[in-house]
Amino acid sequence: MRRNLNYGFLLGGMNMDEKKLINEKNIRLDGRKLGELRPIKIEAGVLNRADGSAYIEWGGNKVLAAVYGPIEAKPRHIQNPTKAIIDCRYNMAAFSVGERKRPGPGRRSIEISKVMSEALEYVVFTEKFPRAKIDVYIEVLQASAGTRCAGLTAASVALADAGIPMIDLLPACAVGKVEGQVVLDLDKEEDNFGEADIPLSVVPRTNEIVLLQMDGQLTIKEFEKCMEMGMNACKDIYELQKAALKERYAVFTEE
Ligand code: CDP
């Protein structure tokens, strides 16, 4: 989310007029090219007590996803007789950000939990589990912009790890505009001082968009470029998700 543009002091005590986020060679502050992702590591099956789990490190983000279910939804009045409910809870640990975050759900985490639940509901074959509930917990241990994308990427791996039938995994990534340029996977400074930020998630098999939010301003042309860049990045992230599950499965068969 873009925050107050006058917070230049956050960038190493320099004013934003003095410090550029992208240099004349189109290289970003952390050394990345405009269309380059931060390093991503995904591990599936990291928690013994959950039915499915995944851990993701994405740039400075560290996020755990855990799945419980399907179990009978309780109290009974919340049950849907035709399909399972996906209840996704995104939570930021108090120590996950620079300034201690007040524990508990705020407006932001409620909104993120809702858009994530809806995206996951689209890919899970919920009609196979009437009256059931599938809990998906996303715990952000360390945040550095793009946590909803990292969380959703990990959540779909955790669902697959739990053996829950799905149309496909859900890779997610943010794309946006910084100093007039369309860039992929905004880091913390770019998120704070950039002109636009668009988290998106795509079903790779069908190319359908299941999460799309936008903060900032873009021309139609820039928006189209963002979409292309984001959709391509989701394909790369999808490969990492599949590799994490394959690795998990290999260990499982060895056991
Ligand atoms: O994390 P994501 O980009 O999905 O969501 P955001 O609302 O755009 O937040 C961007 C970043 O701001 C987070 O990843 C955190 O690093 C930071 N943030 C924070 O420092 N304190 C908060 N209460 C919320 C977010």
* Cα 206 from Cα 208, distance rounded (Å): 5
15-20, long-range: CB < 8 A, 24+ apart: 16/193, 20/179
Tell me which amino acid residue 163 is.
Answer: G
Compute mean pLDDT per 10 residues along the chain, 255 residues long, and list them. Answer: 48 60 96 98 98 98 98 96 98 95 93 98 98 98 98 98 98 98 97 96 97 96 98 98 95 61
**Ligand 1 pocket residue status of 143, Cβ below 6 Å:** yes
State the closest ligand 1 atom to the C-alpha of 215, by its place in the atom list counted from 1: 8
Give me ligand 1 centre to Cα 219, in Å: 24
pLDDT for res 15: 58
- 134, 147, 156: which is closest to 202 by C-alpha? 156
Q: Which neighbouring-strand residues pair with 53?
A: 66
Residue nearest to atom 12 of ligand 1 (CA): 145
Helix (H) or strand (E) holding 253: helix 220-254
* Cα 144 from Cα 97, distance rounded (Å): 8
Domain residue spans of the chain: 37-254
**Ligand 1 pocket residue status of 151, Cβ below 6 Å:** no
* Cα 110 from Cα 91, distance rounded (Å): 9
Give me ligand 1 centre to Cα 254, in Å: 40
DSSP letter string over 22-60? B-TTS-BTTS--TTPPPPEEEEE---SSSSEEEEEEETT
* Cα 172 from Cα 65, distance rounded (Å): 14
* Residue from 99, 140, 147, 198 whose mutation best tests the ligand 1 pocket (most atoms within 8 A of CB): 147
Cα angle, residue 194 at apex, residues 188 and 198 outer, rounded to 5°? 80
Residue nearest to atom 18 of ligand 1 (CA): 97
**Ligand 1 pocket residue status of 62, Cβ below 6 Å:** no
pLDDT for res 250: 87
CATH 3.20.20.70 at 37-254, yes or no: no
